[in-house]
């Protein structure tokens, strides 16, 4: 009995007690900055900067109302130094009705960090009659703990002229509001109606960005950015604003048909980008797609020792829109060997290709926006390569050698045939006295292009024909440019008529002169007659192709044909037009050679 009594008395002291020895380590959320940011392309960034007190030992939980799960494009988490993994689609505590995300800090415990969700632009609607946009968004973050203070800020591509925010705890007419003691598991859906200047918000999706970055032998760096854009709004898109690096120069923006677009550039120092507002020639209706290409120069590579170095090169600018898939390709000059980055140091998104005479570095990324620019994740490339300047002369030397060999073979062939051609020459010389005597000098003989059997053709005839034809082509191009400027209202109507009439008078004069010389060519040797015949056929094909292109663009703008039919046919007509223009240029080149 004494032993049992002692055991009962000392057993609670000896055995480990959970309530006594357990050490609870937790945290509290002091403040959350809930930022709702609308991009230029209409995608919405929900960015929560969280200030905690204590240690975050397990994964941090944050969520959105479940209705937004279908609109999530991307989620990221980072602090000032690190980027953390985010697991989507987890349950938020023991509650339903939420779409949760868990942040894995990998043993770290930051006191201030950011969790951001990128939502699609389907959450924005536009009432064209009233000119008002409406955004559906989570008014507050959904967390598993109470928040002492929550500061909400709504940002637009430009300052709104009017704004009305509707949420469960009241309505405000500002882009900023604050709430104290935000309860855990807050489920709050809000909407904001706002008005902003026309053109500062384009509901678009950019499915692909292909950026080619070639470097020439002198180290000059250029870039060619190709965007595949689709209009997601209900209104017609007339322009698009590209975000380029601030160091970009000599900017040329073209559409998918190679036509140069009118572009206005302006730096935006607050976002470290250069805005390039390109006006489209062919407007995009709802659901239509197009390709826009921007060509520009960047700072040159520098020589450090024996290597060319392109240091701290930004992979992508501070994009204020969302790109689904991006490809960046660095192309050093032919014969260069990329030294860094090395193949062993590249991750799965980068590929280093080594061919016989060419090395290329390709980097692919998904879901690009200004979040990637501002996060600590690597956004720069340190590119260096070895290059021997002797490679500059490789191709010229090859072609010169090839032409020299061809010239030697041709000279041997001509010399072998020359004796057999002397007999006809003597015969023609004997017949000259039967013709009317004409004084001949060395200068007059130089003007004769070749022996002829019909009317005599001189170098002046050929030179006059080619010069008039080139001037006619240039005037036709000026006439098209004048018509385009008049349609856009960039030139007064009276000035347009005067300039157009002057060009038409000059074109009539050139056409008469060209037709006169064509008749001379037709009555001469078979060579010139055949060239004129080819030229007439190419001109007919060119006129037909241009007329078909105009008809096709007119039908497409009226909605009579689908976009797929338009793209298919416009490509065929464009090829036919290019072939005709190439034929004409080739004939003119042959005539210029005859005139030398």
Instruction: Calculate mean pLDDT across residues 309-330.
Output: 88
How far, in whole angstroms, is CA 520 from its chain's centroid? 50
Q: What is the pTM of this model?
A: 0.61
pLDDT confidence of residue 570: 83
Instruction: Calculate mean pLDDT across residues 60-66.
Output: 93
How far is residue 43's CA from residue 118's CA, in Å, rounded to a whole number? 7
Instruction: Calculate mean pLDDT across residues 561-574.
Output: 82
Average pLDDT, the chain: 83
pLDDT confidence of residue 303: 87
Q: Kindly report, residue by residue over 185-239, the tens digit of the pLDDT.
A: 999 999 999 999 988 899 999 999 999 999 988 889 999 999 999 999 988 999 9
Q: Is there a contact between 503 and 481 (Cβ–Cβ < 8 Å)?
A: no
Domains and CATH numbers, the chain: 27-195 (2.60.40.3650), 204-392 (2.60.40.1730), 453-595 (no CATH)
How far is residue 506's CA from residue 508's CA, in Å, rounded to a whole number? 5
Say whether pLDDT at 23 is over 50. no
Say whether pLDDT at 429 is over 80. no
pLDDT confidence of residue 34: 96
DSSP for 140-175 reads S-EESS-EEEEEEEEE-SS--SEEEEEETTEEESSS
Place 57 in a pLDDT band, splitting at 50, 70 and 90. Answer: confident
More confident residue, 69 or 9: 69
Give the sheet arrangement for strand 162-167, strand by strand.
Answer: 124-127, 132-138, 189-195, 162-167, 170-172
Give every CB contact of residue 323 below 8 A, 6+ residues apart in sequence.
Answer: 206, 208, 209, 316, 367, 368, 369
pLDDT confidence of residue 143: 94
Place 579 in a pLDDT band, splitting at 50, 70 and 90. Answer: confident
How far is residue 365's CA from residue 305's CA, in Å, rounded to a whole number? 32
Proportion of the chain above pLDDT 90, given as a percent: 41
Q: Alpha helices, DSSP H only, in 384-454?
A: 394-431, 442-447
Q: Kindly report, residue by residue over 507-548, the tens digit of the pLDDT.
A: 898 888 888 888 888 887 667 888 888 888 888 888 888 888
How far, in whole angstroms, is CA 541 from its chain's centroid? 33
Tokens for 201? 């918000």
pLDDT confidence of residue 420: 44
More confident residue, 252 or 269: 252
Say whether pLDDT at 289 is over 90. yes
Say whether pLDDT at 442 is over 90. no
Q: Name the one residue in this structure whose structure tokens are 């998104």.
A: 349
Give every CB contact of residue 133 below 8 A, 6+ residues apart in sequence.
Answer: 124, 125, 126, 127, 193, 194, 195, 196, 201
How far is residue 536's CA from residue 469's CA, in Å, rounded to a whole number? 13
Number of residues that make up the chain:
596
End-to-end Cα, the chain, rounded Å: 132
């Amino acid at each position: 009995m004494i032993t049992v009594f002692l055991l009962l008395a000392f057993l609670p002291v000896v055995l480990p007690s959970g309530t006594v020895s357990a050490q609870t380590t937790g945290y509290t959320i002091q403040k959350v900055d809930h930022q709702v940011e609308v991009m230029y392309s209409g995608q919405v960034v929900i960015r929560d900067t969280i200030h905690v007190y204590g240690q975050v030992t397990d994964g941090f939980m944050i969520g959105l109302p479940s209705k937004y799960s279908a609109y999530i494009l991307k989620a990221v988490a980072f602090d000032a130094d690190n980027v953390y993994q985010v697991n989507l689609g987890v349950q938020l505590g023991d509650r339903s009705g939420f779409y949760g995300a868990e942040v894995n800090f990998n043993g770290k415990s930051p006191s201030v960090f950011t969790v951001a969700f990128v939502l699609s632009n389907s959450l924005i609607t536009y009432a064209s009659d009233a000119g008002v946009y409406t955004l559906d968004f989570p008014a507050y973050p959904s967390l598993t703990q109470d928040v002492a203070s929550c500061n909400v800020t709504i940002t637009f591509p430009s300052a709104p002229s009017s704004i009305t925010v509707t949420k469960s705890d009241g309505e405000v007419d500002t882009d900023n509001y604050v709430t104290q003691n935000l309860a855990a598991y807050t489920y709050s859906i809000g909407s904001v109606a706002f008005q902003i200047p026309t053109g500062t918000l384009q509901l678009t999706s950019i499915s692909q960005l292909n950026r080619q970055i070639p470097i020439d032998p002198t180290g000059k760096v250029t870039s060619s950015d190709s965007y595949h854009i689709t209009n997601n709004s209900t209104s017609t898109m007339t322009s698009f604003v590209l975000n380029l690096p601030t160091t970009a120069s000599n900017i040329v923006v073209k559409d998918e048909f190679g036509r140069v677009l009118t572009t206005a550039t302006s730096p935006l120092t607050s976002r470290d980008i250069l805005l390039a507002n390109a006006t489209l020639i062919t407007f995009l209706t709802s659901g239509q797609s197009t390709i826009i290409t921007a060509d520009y120069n960047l700072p040159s590579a520098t020589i450090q020792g024996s290597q060319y170095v392109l240091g701290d090169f930004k992979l992508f600018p501070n994009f204020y829109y969302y790109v689904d898939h991006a490809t960046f390709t660095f192309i050093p000059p032919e014969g260069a060997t990329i030294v860094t980055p090395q193949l062993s140091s590249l991750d799965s998104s980068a590929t280093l290709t080594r061919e016989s005479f060419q090395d290329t570095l390709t980097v692919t990324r998904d879901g690009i926006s200004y979040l990637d620019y501002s996060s600590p994740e690597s956004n720069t490339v340190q590119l260096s390569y070895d290059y021997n300047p002797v490679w500059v002369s490789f191709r010229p030397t090859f072609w010169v050698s090839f032409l020299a060999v061809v010239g030697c073979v041709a000279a041997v062939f001509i010399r072998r045939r020359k004796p057999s051609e002397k007999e006809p020459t003597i015969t023609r010389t004997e017949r000259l006295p039967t013709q009317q005597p004409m004084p001949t000098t060395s200068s007059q003989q130089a003007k004769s292009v070749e022996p002829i059997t019909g009317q005599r053709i001189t170098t002046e005839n050929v030179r006059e024909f080619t010069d008039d034809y080139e001037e006619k082509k240039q005037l036709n191009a000026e006439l098209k440019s004048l018509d385009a400027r008049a349609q856009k209202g960039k030139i007064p109507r009276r000035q347009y008529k005067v300039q157009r009439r002057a060009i038409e008078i000059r074109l009539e004069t050139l056409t008469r002169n060209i037709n006169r010389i064509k008749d001379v060519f037709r009555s001469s040797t078979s060579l010139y007659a055949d060239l004129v015949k080819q030229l007439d056929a190419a001109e007919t094909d060119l006129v037909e192709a241009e007329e078909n292109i105009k008809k096709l663009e007119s039908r497409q703008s009226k909605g009579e044909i689908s976009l797929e039919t338009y793209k298919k046919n416009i490509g065929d007509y464009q090829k036919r037009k290019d072939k005709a223009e190439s034929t004409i240029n080739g004939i003119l080149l042959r005539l210029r050679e005859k005139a030398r």
